[in-house]
Chain A
């Protein structure tokens, strides 16, 4: 698979603190890739190294096939790190024009398009000193996307946004990946949003990679069928699979593909099934488990 980002033994130390500790990470081309981790896990440090803001202490990192600092490779990438800041005396339109000039992309024709796509058309000619945090975020996203990059790195893109804004941002991120073919790498503390948006995730903790994989595969681990039926003892006796009681329900340890057959069998044996749903591990539970935080109860899956 083509990798847009690759790190090998990437390390960054600040005095005695190892913000990144020998990180080996490969982010494939295509889709939306989430980078998760508690505060201090190294997410921002990783992004800053990839963007050339800071230098690694050890190890290597490549972006778009080139080393960090390779301007040709870097120009195929867009980014928004933390809450974006802009020269306060410029309008949104002027900011995008300025960055377009810096990036070497010509023409002003794309600017109205990107302003509209992030919902800033009405505020295009207002000075950014009067912008809210959410508006700054939107302008930052527009700035990251304006050069039509192949890779976009977004650090907390929904920070400071209201729910409609979050929904719009989620849709924009997905459309970038599915319609524009852009690889999106995002870091977020909104685990539910990450689960909805991302195809793959990497979980960092204390500068190391602790878990990585497709979201669907990670959350399917430990998935079980929760059954509520009467009489419960009869349900337990009728099952020929491994099961444990969970209050007034039974948790059957079977695969999803075996679920319909089991339910049919139970019904045929006279069991009244009041409720049947899959429960498993969600990203939040995985996150807390891998980062050593408090583990939450198992979460529900739709269907």
Chain B
């Protein structure tokens, strides 16, 4: 019956083309457009850029003639997919999924056809798939951007797939996906408690901003960024630490002692607590007041 809930929710989302397009296609397309425009602008200013001694090496590398390893490029992008732009638009889709039945007053149609837990978990599953789709399209957009860059700067392409790169891709993609889904769970809890689509959208954003500034807020109190309180309040930092562990970029400093455990615990709490809270609240909720 959870499968029924997932199939039904997935079917409904596919018919909601406006939400589907905004939450999965918009950011990858805009990213590709802006990326391509940037490449052509750089090409037009190539002489000026390459003669500027203060230009960052990363920019110069983009315009160099060294080969581009397409696989490496994809693997690197996979670890950056939990960026704010993609997150915002996936949250639009998530908020619609979680709060839509309150807005459309359709709980009365489905609450007698499936258990409340299945209904909510079905929404979570579809939201997770939505995030996967958005991330997949983002990777495709990134691939096209790489091809455009190679073409514009006449850089040869290579496809050097190694086990390390494959592992980097999987772990980066997986952790980014987990982070996005974690954010949507805050939206789930907000949707269930407030029955509001807008609140379901904005609460995760506000919480995300607050998490971002947590180290700066705690620092004057003598709480270090790797302290328990700081890591537990800031799953973003926990995610960054986990990415360092699994991706192991060259030159990255080692993690402080105990940081791995703190990070895992922080991510676990920020994943399970909103989910458990939403399930508990929804199970007791009066659905006649939609």
Contacts and interface: CB of A to CB of B under 8 A. Distances in A.
B149 to A, nearest CB: 38
B112 A74 contact: yes
A299 B115 CA distance: 48
Which of B7, B16, B113, B115 has most A Cβ within 10 Å? B113
Contacts of A143: 109
Contacts of B162: none
B218 interface: no
B11 A53 contact: no
Interface in A237-266: none
Q: DSSP class of A's interface residues: helix, strand, loop or mixed?
A: loop
Interface stretch (B65-73, B138-146, B239-247, B280-288): B280-288
B108 A81 contact: yes
Interface string B109-121: 1111111100000
Interface in A47-97: 48, 51-55, 69, 71, 74-75, 77, 79, 81-82, 84-90, 94, 97
B1 A89 contact: no
A86 B288 contact: no
A297 to B, nearest CB: 38
Q: DSSP class of B's interface residues: helix, strand, loop or mixed?
A: helix
A98 B17 CA distance: 15
Interface in B110-158: 110-116
Interface string B5-20: 1011001100111100
B187 to A, nearest CB: 19
Given A86-B109, A102-B109, A102-B113, 18 more contacts: A51-B112, A53-B107, A53-B112, A74-B112, A75-B113, A79-B108, A85-B106, A86-B106, A87-B100, A88-B104, A90-B12, A90-B15, A94-B15, A98-B8, A102-B114, A104-B113, A143-B109, A147-B113
30 contacts: A52-B112, A52-B116, A52-B287, A53-B107, A53-B111, A53-B112, A53-B288, A54-B288, A71-B113, A74-B113, A75-B112, A79-B108, A85-B108, A86-B106, A87-B16, A87-B106, A89-B15, A89-B16, A89-B17, A89-B18, A90-B12, A98-B8, A99-B110, A99-B113, A101-B4, A101-B11, A102-B4, A102-B8, A103-B4, A147-B113
Interface of B: 1, 4-5, 7-8, 11-12, 15-18, 100, 104-116, 284, 286-288
